[in-house]
Amino acid sequence: MTLTEVGIEVARARRARGLSQSDLARASALSRQTISALERGAIPDIGVRKLNRILEALDLDFLLRPAGHSVTLDDLRPGSP
């Protein structure tokens, strides 16, 4: 997944929760400009700690798996790695 795709998913999750970019910025202790740049794909890089704060504020997890890994039922179960 590219950083642009991460930004699209962050925007989707934020909107689904009824949050503004400012709300998410406050909840993650980042600037609204950072949230906006991430969602627009206009940020060249973001640190893992910052990204983790955004994901935590949206109640999302960061998952690593081998490239090309097909999604299985186990992947979709809550609490799955």
| Tens of pLDDT, residues 16-67 | 999 999 999 999 999 999 999 999 999 999 999 999 999 999 999 887 778 8
CA-CA distance, 8 to 63, in Å (whole number)? 16
Candidate CATH numbers 3.40.50.720, 1.10.1530.10, 1.10.260.40, 3.40.50.450; the one for domain 1-81: 1.10.260.40
Following DSSP, what letter does each residue of 13-75 receive, concatenated? HHHHTT--HHHHHHHHTS-HHHHHHHHHT--S---HHHHHHHHHHTT-------TTPPP-HHH
Residue 63 to residue 40: CA distance in whole angstroms = 22
What's residue 74's pLDDT?
72
Rounded to two decimals, the pTM is 0.81
What value does the mean pLDDT take over residues 4-25? 97
Every domain of the chain and the residues it spans: 1-81
